[in-house]
A and B are shown apart, each in its own frame.
Chain A
Amino acid sequence: NQALKRRYQAILLRKDVFAVQW
C-alpha cells in the first residue's frame, strides 16, 4: 500500500519532469 502511495505521489513529480523535457 505504501509503495502504491509512493507511486501515486510520483505522478506529480513526473508531470514536472516531462513538462520540462517536452
Chain B
Amino acid sequence: LQYNPNSKLLGLPHSSEDVTMNISQINKLTQDLVAETNANFTPQPHAESTAMIKKMFENGLKQTQQQKLADALKSINLAIEMAQRKRTTWEAFAVQLQELQFMLKNRVDLCLVQGRFMDALQDLDFLQNTGLNSSDVFIRKTDALIKLKQYEQARAECERGLSLDPTNVKLKALLIENTRRLAEYNG
C-alpha cells in the first residue's frame, strides 16, 4: 500500500478489482473530509446542497407542467447529477436514497412519455434493486419491456407484480395485453 503525501491518496498497484474499489472508496472519503470546511460536520444533509437540488428539481417539475418535456428531463438530470456530485459520503444514506429514488421515479415517467424505454427500464431496475417494489414500478417496468419487445421478461415482471399485489387491475390488463403480444411473437 503506497500513500502519496501531496495528493493524499492511497495506491496499491496490480490489485484485484474488489481491492481497487475499496481503496478508491477510502480515497473518496479522504478527499471529502479534507475538502470539508465546517469542522463539526454531522450526517445531517447539507442544507444548501438540498436547496440547490430542490430548486433544480422544482424547475424540472414546472417545465413538465408547461409540457416542455425535453427540458424537464434535462433539468431533472441536472438535479440528479448535482445530487451525485454535491452530496458528501457521510450525509445520511436514507436521505440520499429517498432523494435519488424520488427524482428517478419522475425521470422514469418523463422517459416513458418521451419513448426512451431503455432509459426508463434501467431506472426502474435501479429502483427495484434499491428495494422499491411498489406496484407502479412493476406496471412501468412491464410497459417498458413490452415496448422493447421483451415479452418473456415482461410476463415475468408482470406476474411478479401480481404476486405482490394480486388485485391490481392495471397489471392484469398489462398481462392480457402481453399474452396477446407473446402469442403473436411466437407465431
- A8 and B84 in contact, given A1-B93, A19-B118 (Cβ under 8 angstroms): yes
User: Across the interface, which residues of B come within 8 angstroms of A6, CB to CB?
Assistant: 21
0/1 per residue, B16-51, Cβ < 8 Å to A? 000001000100110000000000000000000000
> What's the minimum C-beta distance from A15 to chain B, rounded to whole angstroms?
5
- Contact partner of A4 (CB less than 8 A), chosen from B21, B93, B118, B122, is B93
Please report the C-alpha to C-alpha distance between residue A4 and residue B28 in the assembled complex, in whole angstroms.
14
Please report the C-alpha to C-alpha distance between residue A4 and residue B152 in the assembled complex, in whole angstroms.
29
Please report the C-alpha to C-alpha distance between residue A22 and residue B119 in the assembled complex, in whole angstroms.
14
Please report the C-alpha to C-alpha distance between residue A14 and residue B121 in the assembled complex, in whole angstroms.
10
Check B150 for interface membership: any CB of A closer than 8 A.
Answer: yes
- A2 and B119 in contact, given A7-B129, A14-B125 (Cβ under 8 angstroms): no
Check B157 for interface membership: any CB of A closer than 8 A.
Answer: no
0/1 per residue, A1-22, Cβ < 8 Å to B? 1101111100100110011001
0/1 per residue, B109-150, Cβ < 8 Å to A? 000000000110111011001100000000000000000111
Looking across the interface, which residue of chain B has its beta carbon closest to that of A3?
A: B25
> What's the minimum C-beta distance from A16 to chain B, rounded to whole angstroms?
9
Contact status B96-A1, CB under 8 Å: yes
Check B87 for interface membership: any CB of A closer than 8 A.
Answer: yes
User: Across the interface, which residues of B come within 8 angstroms of A18, CB to CB?
Assistant: 118, 121-122
- Contact partner of A15 (CB less than 8 A), chosen from B29, B93, B122, is B122
Contact status B119-A4, CB under 8 Å: no
What are the 5 tightest A-B residue pairs by CB atom distance, in nearest-first order?
A: A11-B122, A2-B25, A1-B89, A14-B122, A15-B122
Q: Point out residues on A near B: beta carbons under 8 Å.
A: 1-2, 4-8, 11, 14-15, 18-19, 22
Known interface pairs A11-B122, A11-B125, A22-B150; 19 further A-B residue pairs with C-beta atoms within 8 A, sorted by A's residue number? A1-B87, A1-B89, A1-B90, A1-B96, A2-B25, A2-B28, A2-B29, A2-B89, A4-B100, A6-B21, A7-B126, A7-B130, A8-B100, A8-B126, A11-B123, A15-B118, A18-B122, A19-B118, A22-B149
